Structure 1
């Protein structure tokens, strides 16, 4: 029960709940219950039922859900089947309202179970789903939070996206035995994740950090790594020249870079950067020029992340070229200084 439902239940007395329950059951079923009650209980309930008014659909639905929760706890029954609840609620409140309540009960329960995957990397879940039937893939994505489902979908083959989205869009009702299959799939996914996940190490970043602090010939080390694997060496170089390393530079170096690199690149690259980072770069410029930069950044409006990242990559490629030519004393990591 979520906080809103709990507050609603606490605001109603037990007599209110009993009255709403009996009113929702219909005359015949209510009469069968009243026969089991004592005189004072019947009198109190009758008075309350006569006076109760303006009961919302949500209040009635929450009361019935509360009743079934109590029933399962007190009767020794582990859980009512969907078929049992469907038949009982059909008689009590009608098929249309009963179906909506059941979808909320079972769909909400499934969403709660799937929350166990909340912290699992999307690529790992996608790897597991690749071995499942496409309809099961669609079901899993339908019950996951939209952000997570979207991230997982991006990891699956692009030629399958349209089919998956179409299947999700056409989901209306999920039978109980399909929900059972979904639970089994969830358990299999969790087991698979447990087998795959170990200690995570970003090897490329680690090597970049090590080489940055290497006192010998960095270029020679990179050349040797290229002999093993060009792609891996390129990834290491890219990490070594990360855009964030601009924060490690002196005002003189920053002024040189901002003078040599085109203004339009800086304006795009600084879009969305942290305020402290932008301020540190602007401090190397004359006050008037810094104001112009800031005005251009603010006036630009939202920019695609891909465009901003491309501008940052281009800047760092230029920095690398300047560093290789000896035009700039660029620090790839914070260095200790002596006063």
Structure 2
């Protein structure tokens, strides 16, 4: 993927201009300037600086016209997490720098409530279900209504009703209490989220490969095996394919069958192994299995691309069900292996 280069001077915001200036001045001079700023200013500039990307020499010359000769000779600047972190380390202790960098790496947003609005509702619900109902009520009252609704729907029903009752009876919250909740969220939740959100590269590629059609996937895997067999094997081990649905237990298959689009099921099974077909057929009623077989036969020849799309749909559906705890996607080994 090509690196994004900033070329349009008119699109630069004030904080972006300040960030470019700080980077251009170098660590020593920038460190002195940071020393005159308060925490919120440093936090905002650090966020912008870390996401700046590559800035063209033309913009730098125009922005720092009085230093045109010196700056144009540098070619370009790259604002990254590393350069930002190095700069901050010059003016403050490590704990403070780590807190700011974790804040940057976490979900986007200026305030804590903005950031929470960008956290996946399942992740947020998993955290909040272990908190006091009063705390959860306060948090949900501060985020956008649509996001609060999704989080509420993922909490255990009795607990969710307790939260609703607290929200209905909620009185104005003292600033000290609100500040304490924000601090707790920042130190316990956001910091952990920032650390755990740095995904393993092989997991990311496995997920991408899962969304490729069969021919493209095979082409990439084959090419990768020639260059780096270890990486190729790790990615293949992490990929969850349509045939992996054969590891579902009967209850899992039946759950999947209740929600799957039947036309896509027929198309997906058209390209499945005999073993996987039998698994689905044996978990249906005789009548339903007969109808499905007839539908598959009536299709005649089908395009590989259509089969791949239907199988991809079923894999994603299974993953969604697993994320909600409705089925278990076993790898067929260790603690997840099923014993009959």
The structure that has the greater radius of gyration is 1
- TM-score for the superposition, normalised by structure 2: 0.31
- TM-score for the superposition, normalised by structure 1: 0.32
